[in-house]
Structures are given as C-alpha cells and as structure tokens.
C-alpha cells in the first residue's frame, strides 16, 4: 500500500485498523520510517521533515576551494577519512593511516598519489601536506613532517588527487593532503589514550634479532575548553609520547670494511610532542579573530636505508646504512582573521619553524634549518552577483639551511626563496552548473644562483546531471622546484653515496580528469560511488638514479650512490573508483556499519625511453636512459609503481561494541633500477669485509603482489571509556614494498581511552 505527495508535500492514505510501519522516501532525501497504530474511525496527522541525502555524511570538504563544500560539489577527486578511524586503528603517526586511503600509497614514509611519483628516500615530495592551511614540509629536503601532525586532534583528513598547485603551491604536483584540527566546543573536553603492545616474532624465527619481547608503548592526551565565560577564548592543548624498540635491528656484528658499531639497543625510537591551539574572538570588533598555534617535538629515531640481506638479516640494517638521528623541532604560527559585514574575509598567517638534527653515529653530521612562512588570503562571496565566489592571496617562504650534508656549493649554508601570487574564481549558473578558473604565479630561487618564474592555471566544471548524480571535468597544472637537498647534497652513507646535481631543473605537469559522483541508497545503506578517469603528463621528470658518479673517492670508496636527475617526459593515466557508505538499522538504529573502499589502476610510462639524460663519470663510461637503467625496459613502466591497488576498511558497531577490518592489496612492482642488481654483483666480489647486498633473488621470487590485513575489536562503556585490541599485519607476513627495505611484521596493541 502506498501513496504519493503533491507538490506541497500533502498526502493521504486510508488504512484498516492495526499497526503499521510507514516509510517516507523522496529523491535526494534520507528515507524516514515511523511506527503508527491506526484505530477504528481515527484520523492521524503526521508531519515530518526530511534531511538532504548528503547530511548523512558529516564530512565538510574545506580544502579544494578553501571553503566548505558538500562531497557532491567537489571539482576534483577527493577522499575523506573519518577522524574516529585514527583512534580505532591506534594511529601514532598519520602516514600509516593515509596508506589506507584509496589511491594513496606510502613507500617508507614517502607519499604517492595515483602513481605520480616513484621512490626518492623521502626527498622532494610531489604531494603537498597541509595542516590548518599551513605547509608541513621540510623546506630544505621537501620531506613531509608527519610526526609533527597532532593525531590526537585531527578533525578530518582530505586527500585531493591531481595537481593542486593553484591554491596550494609547489609540491602539489600529484595531489595534496589536508589535515584539519578542531577548536573547543561548548563543553570542555579531555581525552587520554594509553596503549601498550609488542611486535610479534617473524614467522621465520631466524629473522628475529631481539631477545625477549619487542615492546611498544605510548600515550596521548587532549584538553579543549573555553577560557572565559563569554566563550571567546578557545584553548586546545595536546600531546603524545611513543616509545618502542622498533622492528629494524642493527647490522650483524662483524669486521667490515665500512665500520659500523651500531648496537641493537641504539635503534630504539622515542618521540615526545606537544601542540597548542589558542584563539580569541573579539567582542569589540565583530568578525575579528586572532591567535597562535604551535608545536614542539623531541625525537630519537633510526632511519634504515637498506636491509642486511634477504634471509636471516631481513630485519637488520646493512653496515653503514642506518642513521641514528636526534631531532628537535618547533614551530609558532600566529594568525589574524577578519570577516566583514559585507562577507569579505581576510586571513593573515605566519610561521617560524626551527629544526635541529644531530646524527649520533657515522660521520655525525649536523643540520639546522629555519623556515619563515607568511600568507595572506582574501575571499568573498558576492551578494550582488549571484553564485560568484573569489579567493586570492599572496604567500612567501624563506628557508635557511646549515647542513654538513649539503656542501656541494662549497659551504654548509644554503638559502631558498619562494614567492607566489594566486587567484581563483568560482561561478554558479543556476542550481546545476558550477565553473571554476584559477591562476598562480610562482617565483623560486636557491642561493640566487638560478631563478624561476612559472605560471600555473586551473579550470574545473561540476554539473548536476540528476538528483545525486554529479559530473565533473577538471584540468590543472603543477610544478615542483628542486630542493636544497637535491641540488647540494654530497655525502656518504657507508657503501653508498648521495651526490649533488647543480643542473637539476624544475619538473612540471598537467592533469586532466573526468569523474562522476553518484549518491545512492539501498534501504538503510547510504553512500557515494565515485569513478574518475585521469591522465597526468610530466616534463623533466625527476628520478633518484643509482650510478658510479664519483672518481675521486671523496664521498665513499666505490664512488657509487644516488643522484637526482631529470629523465625526460613521462605519463600516468588510469582509473580511480571509490566507495564510502554508512548503514544504520534496528531499534534506535543501534546497528551501524561504516565502509571506505577503493580500487586504483595506473599506467605510468616513460614517453622517452631512449632519451639519454645522464652520463657516468666513472671508469664504466656508461650513459643513462630509461631503457639502460630498468630491470624491465620492455614494459616502459616507470619504476617503483604498483599498477593495481585495492583498499578496504569496514567497521561494525552495536551498543558500544565494535569490530573492524582493513585490507590493502598492492600488485607486483613492475620495474626497478637495474643498478640494484649491479651493486649486488659488486659487493659479492669484495670479500667478507663487504657483505653481499642481496636483492635479485628476492625480487624475482617474491614480486607477486601483497595482500595485507589489519583488525580491531573493542568496547565503549559509560560513553566515556573504551578498551580495544588492535593488530596490524595480522597474517604476520614478511614483505617489502620498496627495494631493500622490509615493512613491519605483525604488531598487537591494547588500547585504553578515557573521555572526560
């Protein structure tokens, strides 16, 4: 039995006496059910309000245009991660959570989006990382500062796929990752998280390098409140500490040509961080808000460049390739926001970031970096021109580096300058069509040696085809300038060296995308399905190339190592499919399921495989091209990419009880540098003093793809306390995603959370 409402929402239905379940549904709105009892001769009047479909998803995307949008209004493909997932998975550093997002891969802390980059030991990221509209990239090396991001106070994570350089700036060649923290709510909030656990012994017990148990422990806290009765002063103070032995051990003891006295007890990882957000909303000047954000971190952590071997030394470092670094870093971010009565918004943001790095082993290099950043944003939604919105601004960054590894220019001191001007305009035409166009001009220089001015454009269109069906088309340009590290580094790491390239040029890219987002509902299951086809074209592609670059022996005995070089033109095309959904059912909607899933196919190819982009300066007299440096040159596939990835996370909740599972699938790595094979050959003939760096057999026998699972189970009680058991890599697989570096074995953690 059913009926249809008229244009004013009026409806009527005749029913026999009895109990009924009425279901109200309307295109674009959430369905509503009501239980009613009809008595003989009775007339019931039932009025109700229906919520828009998109309101079932609380996420508000703020990054793609720096103002609030609902998911279906997006101009480019954007993935959103729920903040509660960070706690449910006991995330300690945010990059581990990002690896669960469709289309995003983290290779040894280095972000890849849609196969837009290979592997460069974390230097020169092609993905921008933004926290509350401020960059979180080490400006001298172009490496994300993951550990500085306050996991305990993340309100939302958004990943924008494709160049986002117009509003975000350089580094956003293949995408951008935005983190948004939250300020105090109406009620003061205090949350404390404690956790403890251990790494499990590998399935191959010969690979266990520690005695007893390998413990993990830590805590985090957050306190948010208003400091005055008028609720105009917001304070958020948070922090965390993480303490563990780590899963990578020191080299096997031996009498090596390259001495390495690192012991297992030296490779522990300890981190302590504090964050502060303070904001004042003026009572005297309406629309004025100002404040300061800041962070301080002290960390002792190892960086392992290569494993000892592919058997019993799988989880040990190769001699001379483990760096024990003690890092002290802080930043201070003052800001002023003014919102006028006409709707004009001014935002002034400044930053001072200071970082000290002391290496405790090897040659014990010292590094000190100071970065100054400022940004002004102007935005307005015009009332006299319906549907018109504009945002523009100016930003600048000055970086001072004093690093004993960056000495190729004759000094340890180097500077980099970056200034940009940008404008983006959006216009709505009716209720269906939205058009956006943007421009950015970038200036960049290192030590005033080479100066670059690069213009960038962006254009996007979003069209509402049907109710909850949205088509989008976008085009964007991106640029990434060489960092101080890429231009100036000259340093030896045991048997390896890293060599400077003073002639390295900026790499540029354009991206085009056609996508469709479809909202759907099946009974009580609501969600969005997003499908996008994309193509990215790169010029002056930068790769991290292994070779024999040094004949003087001034860096290391072999003269072998890595160098950043421009390798010509390349292209990445593919298909991106993602699904987000939520279902609630049962009495008082006690049953709840959340799902985030996606599949990404990429075809990354070299467009100039025979282009000679470098020459070897050693006695080998070699020239370098894609063809001559690839293990699999016939495929034309770029190095260190996965053609197929699948990510799924599902969680079921019922009356405080929850259980969740995450899975990640990476297809085989299609291509790597053949120089890794050559280095294995060289080390195999140098006697016991230089252990053979084994990789060829492992790659050829294990490069079949990786399927990984994580799991969690827990219970929340009294609406304040939660206990959970969390396991990562539950099958305890020993595997590697990037050459010569294993990923962690299974680890299990017991978590306790108190919300007060």
Q: Residue 569: is its pLDDT beyond 70?
A: yes
436 vs 149: CA distance, rounded Å: 31
Q: Give yes or no for residue 185 having a pLDDT over 80.
A: yes
Distance between CA atoms of residues 4 and 26, nearest Å: 10
Of the candidate ranges 57-66, 153-162, 216-225, 745-754, the one whose mean pLDDT is the lowest: 57-66
Q: Is the pTM of this model over 0.85?
A: yes
pLDDT at residue 194 above 60? yes
pLDDT of 51 over the 90 cut: no
Where does the pLDDT of residue 684 fall: very low under 50, low under 70, confident under 90, or very high at 90 and above? confident
The better pLDDT of the pair 571, 259 is held by 571
> What pLDDT band is residue 8 in, cutting at 50, 70 and 90?
low
What CATH number is attached to the domain comprising 625? 2.40.170.20
- My answer on whether 46 and 66 are in the same domain is no
Please, which pLDDT band fits residue 366 given cuts at 50, 70 and 90?
Answer: confident
Looking at the DSSP bridge assignments, the partners of residue 650 are: 595, 661
C-alpha–C-alpha distance, residues 61 and 160, integer Å: 10
Query: What is the pLDDT averaged over residues 236-265?
Result: 90
User: 171 and 46 in one domain?
Assistant: no
Confidence of residue 752 (pLDDT cuts 50, 70, 90): very high
**β-strand partners of 535:** 512, 573
pLDDT mean across residues, the chain = 90
pLDDT in tens, 531-552: 999 999 999 999 888 777 776 6
Domain count, the chain: 2
Structure tokens at 496: 């390896």
**Averaged over 92-102, what is the pLDDT?**
94
**H/E element holding 677?**
helix 675-683
**Closest CA relative to residue 641, chosen from 654, 628, 632:** 632
pLDDT at 713: 98
Domain match, 663 and 729 both: yes
Whether 436 and 513 map to the same domain: the answer is yes
pLDDT exceeds 80 at position 668: yes
- Give yes or no for residue 258 having a pLDDT over 80: no
Query: How far, in Å, are 339, 357, 375, 423 from residue 395 at the CA level?
Result: 20, 27, 4, 12
Give the model's pLDDT for residue 22: 79
Same domain, 66 and 44: no
Q: What pLDDT is stored for residue 491 in this prediction?
A: 84
Q: Cα 568–536–509 angle (5° rounding)? A: 55
User: 20 versus 673: which is more confidently predicted?
Assistant: 673
Query: How confident is the model over 586-592, as a mean pLDDT?
Result: 89
Which structural domain, as residue segments, surrounds residue 608? 54-755
Contact 352, 331 (CB under 8 A): yes
Same domain as 32, residue 85: no
**In which band, very low, low, confident or very high, does the pLDDT at 553 lie, cut at 50, 70 and 90?**
low
Tell me the pLDDT tens digit for each residue of 469-513.
Answer: 999 999 999 999 999 999 999 887 766 788 889 999 999 999 999
Separation of alpha carbons 576 and 599, rounded Å:
6
Same domain? For 42 and 160 the reply is: no
| CA gap 276, 621 in Å, rounded | 56
Q: Is 453 exposed, middle or buried (0-12, 13-18, 19+ CB in 10 A)?
A: exposed
pLDDT at 59: 52
- 22 and 167, same domain (yes or no): no
Percent of the chain with pLDDT over 70: 93
| 176, 260: one domain | yes
Supply the pLDDT for residue 619. 53
Which pLDDT score, from 0 to 100, does residue 549 have?
77
| Model confidence at 61: pLDDT above 70 | no
CA distance 636 to 702: 21
735 backbone φψ class: left, alpha, beta (φ>0; ψ -120 to 50) = beta
Give 148-170 pLDDT, tens digit per residue. Answer: 999 999 998 999 997 677 888 87
Cβ within 8 Å of residue 511, ≥6 positions away: 162, 163, 174, 474, 475, 476, 477, 478, 534, 535, 536, 537
735 — phi, psi (to 5°)?
-150, 165
Place of tokens 């088309």: 473
For 33-42, write each residue's pLDDT tens digit.
777 888 888 8
pLDDT band for 23, please (50, 70, 90 cuts).
Answer: confident
pLDDT of 56 over the 70 cut: no
335 or 520, which is more confident? 335
Residues 6 or more apart whose Cβ sits within 8 Å of residue 383: 342, 343
249 & 273 share domain: yes
Q: Which pLDDT band, with edges at 50, 70 and 90, does 558 fall under?
A: low
Q: Are residues 94 and 230 in the same domain?
A: yes
Residues 94 and 236 in one domain: yes
687 pLDDT band (50/70/90 cuts)?
Answer: low
Residue 692 confidence (pLDDT): 84
- Looking at the chain, the whole-number percentage of residues with pLDDT higher than 90 is 66
Domain boundary among 51, 66, 87: 51
259: pLDDT strictly greater than 80: no
- What is the average pLDDT across 192-196? 98
Strand ranges, E, within 65-117: 78-81, 104-107, 110-113
């Amino acid at each position: 039995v059913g009926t249809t409402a008229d244009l004013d929402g009026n409806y009527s239905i005749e029913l026999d006496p009895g109990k009924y379940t009425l279901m109200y549904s309307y295109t674009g709105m959430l369905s509503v059910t009501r239980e009613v009892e009809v008595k003989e001769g009775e007339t019931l009047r039932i009025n109700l309000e229906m919520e828009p479909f998109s309101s079932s998803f609380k996420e508000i995307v703020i990054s793609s245009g720096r103002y609030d949008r609902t998911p279906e209004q997006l101009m480019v493909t954007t993935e959103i991660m729920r903040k509660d997932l960070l706690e449910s998975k006991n995330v300690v550093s945010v990059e581990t959570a990002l690896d669960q997002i469709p289309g995003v891969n983290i290779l040894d802390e280095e972000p890849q989006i849609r196969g837009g980059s290979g592997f460069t030991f974390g230097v020169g990221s092609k993905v921008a990382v933004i926290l509350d509209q401020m960059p979180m990239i080490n400006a001298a090396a172009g490496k994300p500062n993951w550990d500085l991001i306050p996991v305990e106070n993340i309100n939302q994570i958004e990943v924008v796929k494709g160049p986002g350089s117009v509003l975000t700036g350089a580094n956003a060649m293949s995408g951008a990752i935005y983190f948004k923290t939250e300020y105090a709510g109406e009620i003061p909030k205090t949350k404390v998280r404690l956790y403890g656990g251990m790494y499990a012994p590998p399935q191959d017990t010969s690979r266990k390098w520690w005695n007893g148990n390998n413990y993990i422990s830590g805590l985090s806290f957050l306190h948010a409140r208003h400091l005055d009765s008028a609720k105009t002063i917001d304070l958020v103070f948070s922090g965390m500490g993480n303490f563990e032995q780590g899963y990578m051990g020191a080299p096997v003891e031996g009498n090596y040509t390259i001495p390495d006295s690192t012991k297992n007890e030296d490779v522990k990882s300890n981190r302590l961080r504090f964050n502060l957000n303070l904001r004042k909303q003026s009572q005297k000047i309406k629309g004025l808000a100002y404040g300061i954000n800041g962070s301080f971190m002290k960390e002792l952590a190892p960086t392992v460049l290569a494993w000892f071997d592919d058997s019993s030394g799988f989880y040990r470092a190769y001699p001379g390739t483990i760096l024990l670094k003690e890092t002290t870093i802080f930043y201070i971010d003052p800001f002023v926001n003014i919102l006028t009565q006409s709707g004009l918004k001014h935002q002034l943001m400044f930053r001072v970031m200071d970082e000290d790095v002391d290496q405790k082993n090897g040659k014990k290099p010292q590094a000190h970096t100071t970065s100054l950043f400022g940004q002004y944003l102007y935005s307005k939604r015009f009332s006299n021109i319906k549907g018109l919105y504009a945002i523009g601004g100016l930003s600048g960054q000055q970086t001072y580096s004093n690093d004993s590894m960056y000495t190729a220019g004759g000094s340890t001191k180097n500077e980099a300058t970056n200034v940009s001007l940008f404008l983006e305009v959006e216009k709505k035409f009716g209720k269906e069509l939205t058009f956006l166009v943007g421009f950015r001009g970038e200036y960049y220089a290192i030590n005033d040696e080479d100066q670059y001015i690069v213009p960038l454009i962006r254009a996007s269109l979003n069209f509402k085809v049907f109710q909850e069906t949205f088509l989008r088309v976008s085009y964007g340009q991106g640029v990434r300038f060489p960092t101080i590290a890429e231009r100036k580094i000259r340093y030896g790491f045991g048997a390896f060296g890293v060599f400077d390239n003073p002639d390295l040029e900026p790499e540029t890219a354009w991206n085009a995308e056609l996508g469709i987002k479809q909202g759907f509902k099946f009974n009580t299951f609501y969600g969005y399905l997003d499908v996008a086809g994309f193509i990215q074209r790169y010029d002056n592609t930068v790769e991290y190339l292994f070779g024999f670059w040094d004949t003087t022996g001034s860096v290391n005995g072999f003269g072998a190592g890595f160098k950043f070089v421009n390798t010509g033109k390349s292209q990445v095309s593919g298909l991106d499919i993602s699904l987000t959904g939520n279902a609630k059912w049962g009495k008082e909607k006690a049953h709840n399921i959340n799902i985030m899933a996606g599949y990404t196919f990429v075809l990354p190819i070299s467009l100039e495989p025979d282009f000679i982009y470098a020459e070897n300066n050693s006695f080998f007299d070699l020239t370098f091209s894609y063809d001559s440096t690839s293990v699999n040159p016939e495929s034309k596939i770029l190095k260190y990419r996965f053609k197929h990835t699948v990510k799924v996370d599902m969680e079921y909740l019922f009356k405080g009880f929850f259980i969740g599972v995450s899975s990640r699938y990476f297809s085989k790595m299609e291509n790597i540098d053949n120089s890794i094979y050559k280095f294995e050959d060289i080390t195999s003939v140098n006697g016991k003093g230089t252990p053979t760096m084994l990789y060829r057999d492992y790659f050829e026998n294990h490069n079949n793809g990786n399927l990984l699972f994580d799991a969690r189970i827990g219970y929340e009680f009294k609406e304040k306390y939660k206990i959970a058991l969390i396991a990562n890599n539950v099958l305890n697989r020993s595997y590697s995603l990037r050459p010569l570096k294993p990923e962690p074995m299974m680890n299990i953690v017991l978590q306790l959370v108190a919300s007060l």
